[in-house]
Amino acid sequence: MRRRTIATTTALFTCVAAMALTACSGSGSGSDSGSGSGSGASNAPSAAKTPAAAKGPYADLTGGQIVTNSFRATRQAGSLHLKAKIADAKEGPSTMDLSMDHKGDCTGTMGQGKDTIRIIKTGKVMYLKTRDSGNKWVKTDTTSADTKELASSCDLNSFLDSFKGDDTDTEAKKGATTTVGGRTAIALTESDGAEHYTIDVATTGKPYLLKMVTTGGDSPGTMEFSQFDQPIHAVAPPKSAVIAG
Are the C-beta atoms of residues 22 and 110 closer than 8 Å to each other? no
Which pLDDT tens digit goes with each residue over 3-60?
A: 445 555 555 555 555 545 554 444 333 333 333 333 333 444 444 454 544 567 899 9
Instruction: Answer with the residue of higher pLDDT: 101 or 56.
Output: 101
- What 3 state SS string does 136-168 have? CEEEEECCCHHHHHHHHHHCHHHHHHCCCCCCC
Element (H, E) at 99: strand 92-101
Question: 3-244 architecture in CATH?
Answer: Clam (2.50)
pLDDT-above-90 percentage for the chain: 49
Question: Among the listed ranges 86-90, 124-128, 199-203, which one has the minimum average pLDDT value?
Answer: 86-90
Query: pLDDT tens for residues 231-242?
Result: 999 999 999 999
pTM: 0.78
Residue boundaries of the structural domains of the chain: 3-244
What is the mean predicted confidence (pLDDT) over 61-67?
92
DSSP secondary structure letter of residue 45: P
Average pLDDT over residues 163-180: 80
